[in-house]
A and B are shown apart, each in its own frame.
Chain A
Amino acid sequence: MSAKTTPLYPLYKGKARTFNFEGWEMPLWFTSIEDEHMAVRTNAGVFDISHMTRTRIEGREAPLFLDYALTAKISGLKAGRLAYTYVLNENGGIIDDGIVFSLSEDSFVFVTNACTHPKLFLTLKQRAKRFPSVRVEQDSENNAMIALQGPNSLKILKQKLSLDMSQKRKFELVTTDSLIVSRSGYTGEDGVEIIGNKERTSELFQAFIEAGAKPCGLGARDTLRLEMGYPLGCVDINESVNPYEVGGERFVDFTKDFVGKSALLGIKPTRRLRGVISDTQVVLRSGYEVTLESGVTTRLTSGTLSPILKRGIALAFFPLSVKAGERGRVKIRAQEVLVSVVDPPFIKK
């Protein structure tokens, strides 16, 4: 069975090196991961992220439903604001993380990872049963999503869309010209994410490139988010991970009832997701074993080589007793590479 393609695929077919990501044929890189990574850090890059799942939630009781289904407080979230949240199972395990876009007091878009589709959608539908007036619909089919990220991204946006997002704060959005534009992203740089129809979004993707943004693939998206220490759904976080273990208490509102709340209240965390950085230029990868001087061993959940630091960077769960700065070794084929435990971000922003 061949992979799905996004509405933007015709723009980069034959131009990008693509690969199958969660059933989607996505760009891995256009020129090179390092070039694209550096473009985002120093100028601007544009990504097709249409593969991410978008669910539309509508109805007068939508905020109450979302309060129940998710960990973040959504009722009371002003229109035009975003909220990062988890969706937990009954045991407090993270089914997915995602961002709620509040369009109005009865209209929301929830953006989640491609890897949890359709389970996440079916979970929301199931939870919506006790709010029969709420409509939960898949909203990925007929639209696209792109991210424009980098220090010059807002300038390029203003040039090509005549929209000045500099007056908006982080995690605020505007709706304009049938587009949703939010000041958000997954790279650690300033920038926006845009949801819109295929035609408009394709136009913008190309316009941003014309204005100097580099087209970027998921390879750079991964190195960028790792430099910030952002966990990746299905890779670093999954149903065997609870919010405490990823320092996510602030995205959980215990003043309301939500699925997973009672389990969370009974959990005392024993481990935490931390950063690992190598002394030398190596690629740290998911699955590599790290052994600390204290004898603690664990496996890396994700990793890469930081194009900026020229050192391997990774994430891994460690017992709470482990301190930042602790030294260890990672076995990579025939070598033993020296590493340190650190708290992300790996680069200063």
Chain B
Amino acid sequence: MTLVPQNLLYSKEHEWLRVDDSQKALCTVGITDYAQAKLGDIVVVELPKVGSRVEFMKPAANIESFKAVSEVYSPITGEVVEVNQKVVQDPGVVNRDPYGEGWLFKVRATKLEEETRLLLDANAYQKLIGEMS
């Protein structure tokens, strides 16, 4: 059973966004349960540098499985304020807990309102992956 938490927003490329503080426009980004299952064992995670800029639906990170390297697109534009060292040390965390301990990076968004409107809610994302299976 693929997990799709209700409180998150989703991109068509299987990234999730959590708005942690809408006043300060602080968000957390990760990949979905669907994505981690498709990738298989995640063995290397390459994260953006703190302070760097990420752009809506442009590559921001790399997740590598035995099979291939996959680009992670940022579902939001802004400045990277924190990255999760835990997934760099133990990439398997992204497989085991993609919505919790497996978060990838945090962003201070510059176009929060505008871009969150372009993302999918849980039901829409659930529908999307249902159609893909």
* B40 sits at the interface (CB 8 A): yes
Interface locus among A25-33, A51-59, A231-239, A265-273: A25-33
Contact of A219 among B40, B44, B46, B69 (CB under 8 A): B40
> How many residue pairs between the two chains, A and B, have CB atoms under 8 Å in the bound complex?
33
Interface residues of A in 275-289 (CB under 8 A from B): 281-283
Residues of B within 8 A of A334 (CB): 46
Residues of A in contact, count (CB < 8 Å): 16
- Whether B43 lies near A29 (C-beta < 8 A) is no
> In the complex, A333 Cα to B62 Cα: how many Å?
10
What's the least CB distance linking B50 to chain A, in Å? 16
Contact of B44 among A17, A34, A282 (CB under 8 A): A282
* A201 sits at the interface (CB 8 A): no
> In the complex, A67 Cα to B46 Cα: how many Å?
52
User: Which size bracket describes the interface of B in this complex?
Assistant: 10 to 19
* A304 sits at the interface (CB 8 A): yes
Give me 24 A-to-B residue pairs in the complex whose CB atoms sit less than 8 angstroms apart, sorted by A's number.
A17-B40, A28-B40, A29-B40, A32-B40, A32-B41, A32-B95, A33-B40, A33-B41, A34-B41, A34-B92, A219-B40, A219-B66, A219-B67, A281-B44, A283-B43, A283-B44, A283-B66, A283-B69, A305-B66, A333-B46, A333-B62, A333-B69, A334-B46, A335-B46
A-B pairs, top 10 by smallest CB distance, nearest first, are A34-B41, A32-B41, A33-B66, A305-B43, A33-B41, A283-B64, A219-B66, A29-B40, A282-B44, A283-B43
Query: CB-nearest residue of chain A relative to B89?
Result: A281
- Whether B66 lies near A304 (C-beta < 8 A) is yes
Interface residues of A (CB under 8 A from B): 17, 28-29, 32-34, 219, 223, 281-283, 304-305, 333-335
Main SS at interface, chain A = mixed
Query: CB-nearest residue of chain A relative to B46?
Result: A333
Interface residues of B (CB under 8 A from A): 40-41, 43-44, 46, 62, 64, 66-67, 69, 92, 95
What's the least CB distance linking A31 to chain B, in Å? 9
> In the complex, A34 Cα to B42 Cα: how many Å?
10
Residues of B within 8 A of A32 (CB): 40-41, 95
> In the complex, A32 Cα to B39 Cα: how many Å?
10
> In the complex, A176 Cα to B27 Cα: how many Å?
64
What's the least CB distance linking A222 to chain B, in Å? 8
Query: CB-nearest residue of chain A relative to B91?
Result: A281
> In the complex, A283 Cα to B12 Cα: how many Å?
27
Residues of B within 8 A of A29 (CB): 40
> In the complex, A24 Cα to B64 Cα: how many Å?
25
